[in-house]
Amino acid sequence: MTEGSRPAAYFDALYAANPDPWNFAASAYEREKYDATIAILSGARFDMALEAGCSIGVLTGRLAALCATLLAIDISAPALAQARRRNAHLPHVAFEQRALPADWPAGRKFDLLVFSEILYFLTPSDVRRTAALARAACRPSARILLVNHTAPIDEPCDGDTAAELFIAACGLRHLQRRRAPGYRIDLLG
């Protein structure tokens, strides 16, 4: 386990070495996980959504089809540059460089907040702070969607711990959960 939340330099180095370090664009595993992520939303439409940790924007494009407005954020400038190019045809998607929880998009309310493969890069205290900020940014009947890798990893948290910390701290109830080989999805509301 690492000592602190992962900084921007950590991710920038990953993207410098490989523009798609987790193979989001071509992996059958990632495609299946994205299919499951979208499916758990059951075709719902959202007015204002937040995607935290958008990386190179592969899931962003899929989420955008469900949203009138989507704010996609990431800590890494190189990742965001790719995400902007990949989704340039979607004028209702905005991209901002932000590190959570310190750079939370304050003053905005969302009806969907997506944290896909990001929470375990945060320390337990930062996961709790992020959950509290997310809960405060929820519109009535908002949904929060968590996707976490569940295999052992060398990060500040493992995926199950990060999800459980977030769920306990945000105070919303489970609407759905799914566990598949390598990941879990939690839909809260």
> Measured in whole angstroms, how far is the alpha carbon of residue 32 from the centre of its chain?
16
- Centre a 10 Å sphere on the Cβ of residue 20 and count the other Cβ atoms it contains: 17
- Say whether pLDDT at 2 is over 70: no
- Say whether pLDDT at 141 is over 70: yes
Q: What pLDDT score was predicted for residue 1?
A: 53
How does the average pLDDT of the chain come out, rounded? 96
Query: Domain locations in the chain?
Result: 8-188
Q: How long a stretch of residues is the chain?
A: 189
Q: What pLDDT score was predicted for residue 152?
A: 93
- Centre a 10 Å sphere on the Cβ of residue 4 and count the other Cβ atoms it contains: 10
Q: What is the DSSP letter of 123?
A: -
Q: What pLDDT score was predicted for residue 125?
A: 97
Residue-wise DSSP of 33-73: HHHHHHHTTTT--EEEEEEES-TTSHHHHHHHTTEEEEEEE
Mean of pLDDT values over 96-123: 97
**pLDDT band at residue 46, thresholds of 50, 70 and 90?**
very high
CA-to-CA distance for 15 and 6, rounded, in angstroms?
A: 14
Is 140 in a helix, a strand, or coil? strand
Q: Please say whether the beta carbons of 59 and 30 come within 8 A.
A: no
pLDDT digits (tens, 9 = 90+) for 124-136: 999 999 999 999 9
- CA torsion sign, 98 to 115 to 55 to 18? positive
pLDDT digits (tens, 9 = 90+) for 8-34: 999 999 999 999 999 999 999 999 999
Share of the chain above pLDDT 70, in %: 98
Packing angle of the helix pair 8-17, 77-86 (nearest 10 deg)? 60
**pLDDT band at residue 81, thresholds of 50, 70 and 90?**
very high
CA-to-CA distance for 37 and 32, rounded, in angstroms?
A: 9
Q: What pLDDT score was predicted for residue 11?
A: 96
pTM beyond 0.95: the answer is: yes
Q: What is the largest CA-CA distance in the chain?
A: 42
Phi-psi region of 69 (alpha: psi -120 to 50; beta: other; left: phi over 0): beta
- Say whether pLDDT at 3 is over 80: no
Question: Which of these CATH numbers, 2.40.50.100, 3.30.300.30, 3.40.50.10470, 3.40.50.150, describes 8-188?
Answer: 3.40.50.150
- Say whether pLDDT at 80 is over 60: yes
CA-to-CA distance for 1 and 95, rounded, in angstroms?
A: 30
Cis? peptide before 101, omega within 30° of 0: yes
